[in-house]
Amino acid sequence: MFPEFKDYIQRQANLSDDEIELMRSRAVEKTLRRKEFLVHQGDVCRYKIFITRGLLRTYHAREDGSERIMQFSPEISWTTDPESFEYSTPSNFNIAALEPSEVVLWTKSDLRYLIDNIPGLKTYFDKLISRSGHIFRQRIFTAIGASAEEKYEEFVKNYSHILTRVPLHMVASYLGVTRETLSRIRHAQVIRK
Amino acid sequence: MFPEFKDYIQRQANLSDDEIELMRSRAVEKTLRRKEFLVHQGDVCRYKIFITRGLLRTYHAREDGSERIMQFSPEISWTTDPESFEYSTPSNFNIAALEPSEVVLWTKSDLRYLIDNIPGLKTYFDKLISRSGHIFRQRIFTAIGASAEEKYEEFVKNYSHILTRVPLHMVASYLGVTRETLSRIRHAQVIRK
DNA sequence: TGTAAGCGAGGACATTTATCACCGTTTTTA
DNA sequence: TAAAAACGGTGATAAATGTCCTCGCTTACA
């Protein structure tokens, strides 16, 4: 698990061997079974999570059983609940594995220490945050102005690698439509073709 | 205009007089008439904008005349199109004044210089970005899972100070519903009360 | 200061999307 | 490996929301 992270971070940030070793010394590796939770709604999310293998999702479950999926996190990406992680408040979200997964974890205090002592890591996270801001804005733009079909096409365009790995009702929950609507959109597209 | 900014930034970041003076030396002040544009769709957004007085909005206009409002920016807040500003690419958005406004502007290179030379400013922007990320996530959460009425109530809760200053059809464009729907929601609430 | 534009409301109707119920198939898991 | 759960689809119907229109009233501005 850490080796995969090391390969990735060496390509993305210019870290010395010592710096990588420092990151390793604070990292915790964890294997997740399918459907296993890393964070439960109501818990504090104590880790920043790097996924080295598998696929996670971050979602809110309502009383009535319906879900809102905020994020899919495949291998070679990060996730956490930023508010819960930063302020140690109960999270509104579950983070759970959709596939058998492997992750690397850092606590808030360890991550703070690493960022404060590894300038290249700070630069790397700054870039990452900038990119994720862009993704947020695009998603808002689509969510407030696009039809269900346009939202789906946007998803296909941006996340074709995820589309093939998750059930359609979860794609629907991510888009904010019902699974029936999504099913009909797909049907209509097949017919039109 | 700069004096208002100075008051604000001194309270938010611990900047020395020299640092403030450095910011001033790179700042451009600008007065905007109602309806005046600071950025047009298709232009590059060359400035990071601090509003000292008035109210701006950032929005995308479609061919058919409909609009999607991404953000309202009242006095004592920042705005820009982050992608256009960072990468000097054409913006998808207009930024225009809804009220007579006063703003302070910095170009990308000047802002980079200031952030690189004023540590407290970097810290301040990090906090700002963290907060705006939280707002983005909340907005996505509402957009994908709430009814039109819930979206409106959320807006009232978070932005009551803006609600009173913008026409309702713009609130509707921000929420991603039609002005008629918003009008009916408000009517229904009056009746229920 | 008068004229045009903007604004908020609301009626009639169309469209989109959600809800509910059910089915056959595949996948999971005990 | 058999039972249970998950999955994708679809029809009938309901609800939410959008579209198009008209109408007073207010506001902006030339």
The pair of three-digit structure tokens given for residue A94, joined into one six-digit string: 């579950």
Residues 11-70 of B with CB under 8 A from A: 60, 68, 70
pLDDT at A129: 98
C-alpha of B157 from chain center: 18
**CA A88, CA A166: separation in Å to the nearest integer?**
30
- Minimal-distance CA residue of chain B relative to A175: B144
**Each residue's pLDDT tens digit, A91-132:** 999 999 999 999 999 999 999 999 999 999 999 999 999 999
Q: Min CA distance, B114 vs chain A (Å)? A: 16
Give the closest residue to D8 (Cα–C1′): A183
Rounded to 5 degrees, φ, ψ at A181 are -60, -45
Query: Could you give the domains of chain B?
Result: 2-118 (2.60.120.10)
Q: Min CA distance, A130 vs chain B (Å)? A: 8
**CA A62, CA A123: separation in Å to the nearest integer?**
37
Percent of chain A with pLDDT over 70: 99
- Minimal-distance CA residue of chain B relative to A84: B134
- Residue A35 approaches strand C within 7 Å at CB: yes
pLDDT at B193: 63
Are residues A176 and B133, on separate chains, in Cβ contact within 8 Å? no
Are residues B140 and A60, on separate chains, in Cβ contact within 8 Å? no
Name residue A74's amino acid.
Answer: P
pLDDT at B191: 79
Are residues B141 and A82, on separate chains, in Cβ contact within 8 Å? no
pLDDT at B25: 97
Percent of chain A with pLDDT over 90: 95
**Each residue's pLDDT tens digit, B107-161:** 999 999 999 999 999 999 999 999 999 999 999 999 999 999 999 999 999 999 9
**CA A115, CA A136: separation in Å to the nearest integer?**
24
Name residue A73's amino acid.
Answer: S
pLDDT at A190: 86
Query: Cα separations (Å) of B36 from A140, B74, B184?
Result: 25, 15, 31
Are residues B136 and A133, on separate chains, in Cβ contact within 8 Å? yes
Residue A192 predicted with pLDDT over 90:
no
Q: Min CA distance, A68 vs chain B (Å)? A: 6
Rg of the Cα atoms in chain A: 18
Q: Within 7 A of a protein CB, which nucleotides of strand C?
A: 6-12, 16-21, 28-29
Q: Within 7 A of a protein CB, which nucleotides of strand D?
A: 6-12, 16-21, 28-29
Place of tokens 């407290």: B120
- Residue A137 approaches strand C within 7 Å at CB: no
**CA B55, CA B88: separation in Å to the nearest integer?**
25
Rounded to 5 degrees, φ, ψ at A187 are -60, -45
Is the Cβ of A174 closer than 8 Å to some Cβ of chain B?
yes
Is the Cβ of A175 closer than 8 Å to some Cβ of chain B?
yes
Is the Cβ of A112 closer than 8 Å to some Cβ of chain B?
no
Mean pLDDT for each 10-residue chunk of chain B (193 residues)? Answer: 96 94 97 95 97 97 93 98 98 96 98 97 98 97 97 97 96 98 94 72
Is the Cβ of B169 closer than 8 Å to some Cβ of chain A?
no
- Residue B176 approaches strand D within 7 Å at CB: yes
Q: Of B54, B78, B85, which Cα lies nearest the Cα of B129?
A: B78
* Mutation for testing the B interface, residue in A137, A138, A150 having most B CBs under 10 Å: A137
Q: Is the ipTM of this complex over 0.90?
A: yes
pLDDT at B118: 97
pLDDT at B192: 73
- Chain A residues with CB under 8 Å of B140 CB are 70, 136, 139-140, 143
Q: What angle do CA A146, A149, A155 make, to 5 degrees?
A: 85
Are residues A140 and B144, on separate chains, in Cβ contact within 8 Å? no
